[in-house]
Amino acid sequence: MKNSYLGCILFVMLAYSCGDLSKSAEDESDTDTKASMEEVFKVQVFQADRQKLPIPITASGKIETSRSKKLTFQESGVLEKLNVRNGQLVKQGQPIAQLANKQQFIEYQEVALAYKQALYQDEDERMFLSDSTFYRDKWSEVDEKTALKSGVPQAKLALDKARISLEQTKLQAPFDGLIADLEIEPGDFISENQTIAQIYQPGNLEIKVNLLEYDFPKVSIGQQAEVTALANRHQGYAGEVIEINHTIDASGHFTIKIKLQGSAKGLVPGMSATVTIAALKDESRLIVPMKAVVNRSGRQVVFTHEDGLAKWNYVTLGDQNGEYVEVLEGVAPGSEVIITDVFQLAHDSPVVVQPTTESSTASL
């Protein structure tokens, strides 16, 4: 009886122990499966190819406007009206300012009256001669003679002169633009040809910069550039090379002109700015993004994707532009270079390639 009781106890203990072992084995199996799943990295790749590495050419200059004009009066006098202010946009023909012109207006009225009187006198002369048979066949000569006798040409010239003098007391916008450098007030005496302000077109901005003669072969008309103003380094503006001076000066520089494209809001003439041109190296080499390169044990490494595995490649690098780098040795053209999770990868780490928006063309 006692032996039977002990046997039952042993049987229960053995069954419980087997259950624990089975559960432990299942837990371990789940852990291994989960660990195995976590070791598969979802990566993005860049197809390595031979390209000419863009190397930035940087220079500084001043923002200018391609169309501007100094506003001046062709007459001297006291400023009577000022219709604009600095920074104001104006339309072509819009009144800008006016000098006191009472005297010019009276003179214009006087000569206009004299011109009208000359026309009346000329008409009377022609009517008188029209009844004469002598002048009937010479009417073209009659027109010229009566006009000269009546003083019509002289009166017309005097009228034109007075009109010009009156118009020169009024200043209008020569084209659509923005007013700048206005420093006069009504009551100021304005001299003939004195600059009272400037007008420029804010949509026609450009910048001239000097480059080293070393860079002359790398620059061409139509080349794209980025312009960054000193006042706002975080805002870049698109530009295009429109002019290259084909002469090297005594200091070993040549000048190029870049036209701002699109919106140039925030830029004004006189601002200091930096120009960056993406010039290409002369020789094509294998190019990869710099973010694909990691340092392992003092050596530079690039991972490539082969059959679902990450492969470790020691590489020798060349020039770089901050985003892309030349690979001189270690990676074959056409290789799928891994560009994400590179610090977590090891040789033969399982990977799954995900879609990427990374361009296969190197740029700045």
**Angstrom distances, CA of residue 46 to CA of 5, 66, 326, 341:** 73, 42, 14, 13
pLDDT in tens, 313-356: 999 999 988 899 999 999 999 999 999 999 999 999 999 999 88
pLDDT-derived band at 364 (thresholds 50, 70, 90) equals low
How confident is the model over 206-243, as pLDDT tens digits? 999 999 998 998 899 999 999 999 988 889 999 999 99
User: 196 and 241: one domain?
Assistant: no
Instruction: Tell whether 24 is covered by a domain.
Output: no
Task: Identify whether residues 211 and 271 lie together within a single domain.
Answer: yes
DSSP string for 332-346: -TT-EEE-SSTTT--
- Residue 185 is assigned to a structural domain of this protein: yes
Does residue 18 lie within any of the structural domains? Answer: no
Strands (E), 134-192: 170-172, 177-180, 189-190
* Residue 273: inside a domain: yes
Domain count within the chain: 4
Question: Do 195 and 211 fall into the same domain?
Answer: no
pTM > 0.85: yes or no: no
What are 124-170's pLDDT values in tens digits? 666 665 555 545 555 455 556 666 767 778 888 989 999 998 999 99
Instruction: Read off the pLDDT of each residue in 10-33 and give the average, rounded to a whole number.
Output: 44
Q: Are residues 82 and 195 in the same domain?
A: yes
Q: Domain with 219 in it: what CATH number? A: 2.40.30.170
Residues 237, 190 contacting (CB under 8 angstroms): no
361 burial class (0-12, 13-18, 19+ CB within 10 angstroms)? Answer: exposed
Asked if residue 143 is part of any domain, the answer here is yes
CB of 268 within 8 A of CB of 311? no
338 and 295 fall within a common domain: yes
Percent above pLDDT 90 for the chain:
62
